Amino acid sequence: MAAAVAPRKCMGLECENNAGTLQCPTCLKMGTDSFFCSQDCFKRSWSEHKAVHKKSNFLTNLFPPKVVSEPDPVTGKYNPFPSYQFTGSLRPVYPLSAPRTIPSSIPHPDYAKDGFPRSEQKFVGRHNVTILNKEEQEGMRKVCRLAREVLDIAAREIKPSVTTDYLDEIVHKACIERKSYPSPLNYMHFPKSVCTSINETICHGIPDQRPLEDGDIINIDVTLYHNGFHGDLNETYYVGEKALSNPDTVRVVETSRECLEKSIELVKPGMLFREPGNVIEKHAKSRNCSVVKSYCGHGINQLFHCAPNVPHYGKNKAVGAAKPGMCFTIEPMINLGSHRDRTWPDDWTSTTVDGSLSAQFEHTLLVTEDGVEILTARLPDSPGGPVPMPTAEKGSEN
């Protein structure tokens, strides 16, 4: 969930602004995307835009939605998209577990009830980057420490045969124990408390009933909302010994880890937001890997996603420079094959277009007066961590 969608153009009539997170409610119900920069732009464009709804209704009647497959009579499990042409071997395993609840005593973000982050829609200007005061910075430190604890708890449960739904339950309970709301839950209607992205999944994987297998890799993306602030991080982990023995698997995971580390070395006051992408892409290419362009790092504070955008690919045109008190994420998504992505019919799970493996790492960062503070830094006992790059691949570093 941490990955922000790269800037998209507003669909407003004769509007050249970048769109925010504001969407047409009718389009959302119909399962289509229509993003606008502001309520005023949406209202001004309504007479033209509503014609899209009639066209979509006609197409829906002409081509009705695909029927889901029948549940297995023994297990009750099924693939909800049997006609979809998956790019790799991964398949969703439904039914999803029942929605998990959060005690009312724990503060909820504004989207918890209906899925719409209205507070984010008030800050659609791409230049509007919040500077946190000392008290707010302490709020970010606290939530990020808690988020690290929750990620480590979930990571310790990774092993073959464990389902991602079980990991979601672990994250959910750990959040409640820390009097925190799991930020992904119902954010733009995301159904779970954590994102779990396996193998060819780039990001935003929905926890389901599929058991992890020896040889898999899995990214766990955790975000907490605590005392009015969001803290966001993720890591990719090896499942079983087979994953560690596969040179290509290790190459993509460790390259992604190193891309994040190298990009963080740049962060200090005055760093241009377009600069990390150059370092990330150069290192990824040196390892014969590609960089996903559809998602980017993002500002984070009292809002889950906000300015600035921090692209991970080279020669991007991101606007702005880092200043003390800014909080944002860097979260490179690195693929073994093509950089291009494709989204499952669940409207969330983003996979590589060619079925190749993808890995990601993320930290929430605070710009200080003379550098950067990694708010979600690993602890001495954090599970996972770097492993040696396969000998056969070392020559490709230069």
CATH of the domain at 315: 3.90.230.10
What lies within 8 Å, CB to CB, of 36 at 6+ separation is 10, 11, 12, 15, 19, 20, 22, 23, 24, 42, 45
| 134 and 51 within one domain | no
Q: Is residue 117 in a domain? A: no
Instruction: Inform me whether the pLDDT recorded for 88 exceeds 60.
Output: yes
Q: Is residue 102 in a domain? A: no
Q: Which candidate, 327, 326, 352, places its Cα nearest to that of 337? A: 352
Helices (H), the chain: 25-30, 39-49, 51-62, 118-121, 134-155, 164-177, 240-245, 247-264, 275-286, 391-394
For residue range 27-63, what is the model confidence (pLDDT) as tens digits? 654 455 677 777 667 767 776 776 666 555 554 455 5
Residue ending a domain, among 62, 94, 110, is: 62
| 179 and 305 within one domain | yes
* pLDDT (0 to 100) of residue 398: 39
| 153 and 58 within one domain | no
| 311 and 176 within one domain | yes
Q: Is residue 335 in a domain? A: yes
Mean pLDDT is lowest, of 115-129, 193-207, 329-343, for 115-129
| Residue 318: both structure tokens together | 């991101």
Annotated binding residues: 204, 221, 232, 298, 305, 331, 362
Q: Is residue 32 in a domain? A: yes
For residue range 218-268, what is the model confidence (pLDDT) as tens digits? 999 999 999 999 999 999 999 999 999 999 999 999 999 999 999 999 999
* pLDDT (0 to 100) of residue 397: 44
Over residues 151-166, mean pLDDT: 98
| 345 and 198 within one domain | yes
Residue ending a domain, among 41, 62, 83, is: 62
| 130 and 44 within one domain | no
Higher-scoring residue by pLDDT: 313, 395: 313
Q: Is residue 87 in a domain? A: no
Instruction: Inform me whether the pLDDT recorded for 17 exceeds 80.
Output: no
Q: 359: left (phi > 0), else alpha (psi -120 to 50), else beta?
A: beta
| 356 and 218 within one domain | yes
Q: In whole angstroms, give the CA distance from residue 310 to residue 332.
A: 10
Residue ending a domain, among 32, 62, 92, is: 62
| 199 and 310 within one domain | yes
For residue range 106-117, what is the model confidence (pLDDT) as tens digits? 999 999 999 999
Number of separate domains in the chain? 2
| Residue 106: both structure tokens together | 């724990």
Q: Is residue 114 in a domain? A: no
Give pTM, 2 decimals: 0.84
Q: How confident is the model at residue 396 (pLDDT cuts 50, 70, 90)?
A: very low
| 157 and 12 within one domain | no
Domain that holds residue 373: 124-397
* pLDDT (0 to 100) of residue 57: 52
Instruction: Inform me whether the pLDDT recorded for 23 exceeds 80.
Output: no
Over residues 262-282, mean pLDDT: 98
* pLDDT (0 to 100) of residue 176: 98
Instruction: Inform me whether the pLDDT recorded for 2 exceeds 60.
Output: no
The percent of residues in the chain predicted with pLDDT above 70, rounded, is 85
Instruction: Inform me whether the pLDDT recorded for 384 exceeds 80.
Output: yes
Q: Is residue 361 in a domain? A: yes
Residue 292 in 3-state DSSP? Answer: coil
Q: Is residue 200 in a domain? A: yes
| 299 and 205 within one domain | yes
User: What own/partner pairs with CB < 8 Å and gap ≥ 24 does 391-397 have?
Assistant: 392/247, 393/247, 393/250, 393/251, 393/287, 396/286, 396/287, 396/288, 397/286, 397/287
Annotated binding residues for Zn(2+): 221, 232, 298, 331, 362
